[in-house]
Amino acid sequence: MDFEWVAIALGDVTWISLAFFLGFLARGVGLPPLVGFLATGFFLNYLGIASGETLQKLADLGITLLLFTVGLKLNLKVLIRPQVWSVTLLHISAVIALFGTAIFALSLLGAPLFFGLDFKLSLMIAFALSFSSTVFVVKSLEEKGEMKSLHGRIAIGILVMQDIAAVIFLAASTGKIPSPWALSLFMLIPLRPLFHYLLQKTGHGELLILYGLVLALGGAELFELVGVKGDLGALIMGVLISTHLKSDEMSKSMLGFKDLFLVGFFLSIGMSGQLSLEALIIGILLVPFIFIKSALFLTLMTRFQLRARTSLLATLNLTNYSEFGLIVAAIGVANGWLDGEWLVVIAIALSLSFVVAAPLNNIDDRIYSQFRDFWMRFQRKERLSDDLLLDTRGATIAIFGMGRVGSGAYSKMRKLHGDTVVGIDFDAEVIKKHLSMGHKVLHGDPSDADFWDKIERTHSIELVMLALPNLQANLDALEQLREISFRGRIAATARYSDEKEPLRRSGATAVFDIYTEAGSGFADHVEVHRHI
């Protein structure tokens, strides 16, 4: 029997333990654990420990699963919106022009590491710095339950367009021309009903997870076989089944696997090259330039009729550098165009941009509400139909979050109180489904300061029920309710017992523990029907 895998596992205990420890410390100071994972990579790099084959495989698998889950939640209608493709193309062009010119000027001045770069290489580095991190944005949106909000969908759409641009660059720069067999990939479209049928038949357990792995890894391998970037294959396979009712369940089932493998990705970033003082200084100096990218995003989005708040929240999500920048730089190093230190420079800039972006995204609603007058200066009078403020139409009970719990609460309260109940959600598909059933459901975001500002002047709401997807989303809504000194009752849902106290401290007058109360409700239901 081959016991080699045991040796590998024991050798990996060190970096796994260190990653956990630093990730735990990062969470303790209000940063996402991924910042600790990045720090682990740099520390191991400092100790002279190189990224091994096992770690690299974990990193590659993490990215593949990430893009597959992005595809599961992607609405193709978003990509064709001018607010996505036009903003992306204009932003990339502007960043390349500005950053490329600045890098070439430093080359002419003989700055360390920049010296010897011609104009084309300067533009290539600028291109690498133009992307925002898919990994960071998806993780941030998932943790706040905002993947399907308008600003979340706009940010994800821009990231997908950037990823497509990166794939085109990779194909062109490596000289790899897709095989003529690549045209056969279009046959995946008519096979979509088959994928849906199999998804329906997989049930809800381990087969569902295994089917997701088959689609993600199989799609990646299929695209690689015909000379197309494998990650794009994983993304496309996710998109093909994204309209199925069980796609959201599959995404949630695979969440733990994806997060685990992404730890390898974050570690590999820090271990991507040899550290030097020059690389460290240049990497640090690149960090403030993410705010130039942010200013361009905010300006472009508001010019395309998005509300100031929507534009700002999407912009803050995109305020970072990207792992694709490392991939672009790696191509340059592999082809002998760039010095290997550029990998370290971009890795440092990428890591530090996460450190800057994480706290900004944690307080994004506060940044908007406290400086709303300033942000409103960027907003145009004309706005998109799905980015307008809603009217609660005289409702006295508002239920935020129309998932399974919220839908059940809506049905019960409507039976008891009639049409005075209104449901509110930021997922357009959820709203469409409820409207088709004759429900009074509106598009809105409970963490939106503009919405609560309007509610403060005109509302007749006496009871707010928060059935939002996670603790942070509920806390953000409670903060807005405090801002307007809401005097009605507030009920909130908790998924775990340790969430109850933070919700009560933040102003919830009643907290419903979903799992505990579900058991109690089940028992009551049995007792009521026992003699029927």
Residue 383: inside a domain, yes or no? no
- Look at the chain and report how many structural domains it folds into: 2
What pLDDT score was predicted for residue 459? 65
395 and 366 in a common domain:
no
Rounded to whole angstroms, the Cα distance separating 390 from 388 reads 6
CA distance 210 to 161: 28
pTM equals 0.73
424 inside domain: yes
- pLDDT of the residue at 521: 63
Q: What pLDDT does 194 receive?
A: 92
Same domain membership, residue 160 and residue 303 = yes
- CB proximity list for 53: less than 8 A, separation 6 or greater: none
Based on the fold, state whether residues 306 and 401 are members of the same structural domain.
no
Residues 357 and 457 in one domain: no
Would strands 463-466 and 510-513 be described as parallel, antiparallel, or unpaired? unpaired
454 with 405, same domain: the answer is yes
DSSP string, 34-52: HHHHHHHHHHHHHTTPPP-
SS3 assignment, position 274: coil
C-alpha pair distances (Å), 8 with each of 13, 38, 53, 55, 223: 9, 21, 10, 10, 30
Query: Which of 450, 454, 451, 430 minimizes the C-alpha distance to 441?
Result: 430
Domain that includes residue 469, residue range: 389-528
Is residue 382 domain-resident?
no
Looking at the fold, whether 513 and 429 belong to one and the same domain comes out as yes
Domain shared by 154 and 206, yes or no = yes
Among 376, 398, 429, the domain boundary falls at: 376
Alpha carbons within 13 angstroms on the beta-carbon side of residue 337 total: 16
Beta bridge partners of residue 466, listed in sequence order = 400, 492
Q: Which of 354, 376, 398 is the last residue of a domain?
A: 376
Percent composition of the chain: helix, strand, coil (DSSP 3-state, to 5): 70, 5, 25
Nearest Cα neighbor of 446 from 419, 421, 468 is: 468
Q: How far apart are CA 282 and CA 11, in angstroms?
A: 33
74 in a domain, yes or no?
Answer: yes
Q: What pLDDT does residue 108 have? A: 92
d(CA 283, CA 269): 13
Asked if residue 329 and residue 371 are part of one domain, the reply reads: yes
Domain presence at residue 13:
yes
Q: Tell me the CATH number at 81.
A: 1.20.1530.20
Mean pLDDT by 10 residues, the chain (532 residues): 42 74 83 78 77 73 82 75 89 95 93 88 93 84 78 88 77 67 85 90 84 90 83 85 84 78 77 77 93 95 88 93 80 79 86 88 85 87 62 78 86 86 83 85 74 63 85 82 81 85 88 73 61 54
Predicted pLDDT at 246: 86
Euclidean distance between CA atoms 419 and 422, whole angstroms: 7
CA distances from 377 to 110, 125, 292, 298, 309 (A): 41, 33, 18, 11, 11
d(CA 212, CA 251): 8
Secondary structure class of 109 (helix, strand, coil) = coil
> In CATH, what number is assigned to the domain containing residue 495?
3.40.50.720
HEC string for 277-327: HHHHHHHHHHHHHHHHHHHHHHHHHHHCCCCHHHHHHHHHHCCCCCHHHHH
Residues 366 and 406 in one domain: no
CA 445 to chain centre: 17
Do 265 and 333 fall within a single domain?
yes
Note whether residue 423 is domain-resident.
Answer: yes
Same domain, residue pair 36 and 184: yes
516 to 68, 496, 502, 521, 528: CA distances (angstroms) = 33, 9, 18, 9, 19
Q: Residue 204's pLDDT is what? A: 78
Residues 493 and 365 in one domain: no
Report the distance separating Cα 294 and Cα 85, nearest Å.
17
In a domain, 381, yes or no: no
Taking Cα atoms as reference points, which of 138, 169, 182, 183 lies closest to residue 156?
138
Sign of CA dihedral 353, 354, 359, 360: positive
Q: Indicate the residue among 376, 398, 417 that finishes a domain.
A: 376
- Give me the helices (H) in 418-470, please: 428-436, 449-458
Who's near 92: CB < 8 A, 6+ residues apart?
127, 130, 162, 165
pLDDT of residue 161: 87
pLDDT given for residue 277 in this prediction: 84
